[in-house]
């Protein structure tokens, strides 16, 4: 029985056993694997739907990184576009300025993203709450302005085009179907890695910091180290998503590193259900699908998206993940999370814990 199995053994389940315990996940993966041939035979404009799916996978990886930071560590950031856009621009600049192809630039950009994440994290984590959110926004907007000013390197407002992406064992990975499978496998890999991370002792600590940082500190744990590690990991994963971005567009432009990209990631996370990993992935598909429909119908589509987002926050604070579980939560959990980032927030040392997202054990039972 599950309760008689040591927690350490439960945390180290294999991928196969996880899929067996959650048949719907296996069904989703199987459906995604056969999606291209099905859509190609059913629709004349199959390339559009395949590109749509690629966009969902790429932004889904970015949302997973955001959920690690916000949903699991409790750090609300407004500057995640710095890493997402930094990954995309890093690849493009290496190709445009240094003449490297996509795969030659890949490891270099990963190292640069790690350094950038650590530097920004060390500075930003000196603050907390709303001040942390504001300074991350300041760093992101600094990156945005640098992109606009250094025209000779970044292309300015025009961005960078014709990024060199060589074939892999004879396959053109910019071809829609190949790009689909590359980004799908990348999204699955990132999900599994982050699932393992959040189920590990490290994951237990950052979730404890999210719930009550003062009590974790009383146990002799240094919260700063764990928050910095989570920040750096989220930055690298978010940058990895940005590095995949040129695969289906072959160019990058300034909006990808602007604050609006962080806003999109935040909305996808909240709509899907933060602190669940799979929930934000659903939110990504919902958000991008709705954006695609509305932007083709009305010019002020962002206004409608904002209204829908407000309705989610008010009436479905647990997001799509909570809806699928049949949860009937009030807005108190989300409101408590938001109050934590505001000046004069509640003293969490004297109040009971507020469970705003499911624990890893609850996710295992789904």
For residue 168, the cross-strand partners are 171
Q: For the residues 150-166, what does the mean pLDDT come to?
A: 87
pLDDT above 80 (res 364): no
Give the torsion through C-alpha atoms of 355, 356, 357, 359, to 10 deg: -10
pLDDT of the residue at 9: 34
CATH 1.10.3470 fits 22-364, yes or no: yes
Domain boundaries, the chain: 22-364
**Model pLDDT for residues 183-209, shown as the tens digit of each residue:** 999 999 999 999 999 999 999 999 999
pLDDT tier, 337 (very low <50, low <70, confident <90, very high otherwise): low
pLDDT in tens, 39-60: 887 777 788 889 999 999 999 9
pLDDT band at 11 (very low <50, low <70, confident <90, very high): very low
Q: How far is CA 26 from its chain centroid? A: 22
Smallest Cα–Cα separation from 75: which of 228, 215, 217?
Answer: 228
How far apart are alpha carbons 130 and 124 in whole angstroms? 11
Among the listed residues 327, 312, 318, the one whose alpha carbon sits nearest the alpha carbon of residue 357: 318
pLDDT digits (tens, 9 = 90+) for 110-135: 999 999 999 999 999 999 999 999 99
If pLDDT is split at 50, 70 and 90, which confidence band does 152 have? confident
């Amino acid at each position: 029985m599950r309760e008689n199995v040591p927690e350490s053994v439960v945390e180290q389940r294999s991928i196969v056993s996880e899929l067996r315990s959650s048949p719907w996940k296996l069904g989703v993966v199987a459906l995604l694997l056969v999606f291209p041939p099905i859509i190609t035979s059913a629709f004349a404009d199959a390339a559009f739907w395949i590109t749509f799916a690629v966009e969902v996978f790429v932004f889904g990886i970015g949302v997973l990184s955001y959920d690690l930071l916000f949903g699991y560590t409790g750090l609300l950031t407004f500057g995640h576009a710095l890493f997402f856009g930094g990954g995309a621009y890093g690849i493009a600049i290496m190709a445009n300025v240094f003449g490297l192809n996509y795969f030659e630039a890949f490891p270099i950009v990963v190292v640069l993203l790690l350094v950038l994440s650590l530097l920004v994290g060390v500075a930003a984590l000196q603050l907390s709450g709303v001040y942390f959110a504001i300074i991350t926004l300041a760093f992101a907007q600094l990156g945005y302005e640098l992109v606009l000013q250094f025209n000779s390197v970044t292309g300015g407002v025009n961005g960078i085009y014709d990024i060199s992406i060589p074939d892999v064992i004879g396959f053109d990975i910019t071809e829609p179907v190949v790009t689909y499978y590359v980004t799908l496998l990348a999204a699955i890999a990132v999900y599994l890695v982050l699932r393992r991370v959040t189920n590990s002792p490290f994951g237990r600590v950052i979730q404890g910091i999210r719930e009550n940082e003062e009590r974790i500190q009383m146990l002799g744990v240094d919260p700063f180290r764990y928050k910095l590690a989570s920040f750096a990991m989220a930055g690298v994963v978010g940058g990895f998503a940005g590095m995949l971005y040129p695969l289906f567009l072959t160019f990058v432009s300034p909006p990808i590193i602007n604050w609006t990209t962080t806003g999109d990631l935040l909305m996808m996370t909240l709509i899907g259900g933060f602190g669940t990993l799979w929930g934000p992935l659903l939110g990504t598909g919902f958000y991008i699908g709705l954006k695609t429909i509305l932007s083709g119908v009305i010019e002020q589509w962002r206004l409608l998206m904002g209204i829908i987002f407000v309705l989610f926050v008010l009436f479905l604070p647990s997001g799509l993940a909570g809806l699928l579980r049949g949860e009937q939560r009030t807005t108190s959990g989300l409101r408590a999370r938001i109050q934590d980032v505001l000046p004069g927030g509640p003293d969490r040392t004297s109040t009971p814990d507020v469970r705003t997202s499911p624990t890893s054990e609850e996710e295992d039972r789904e």
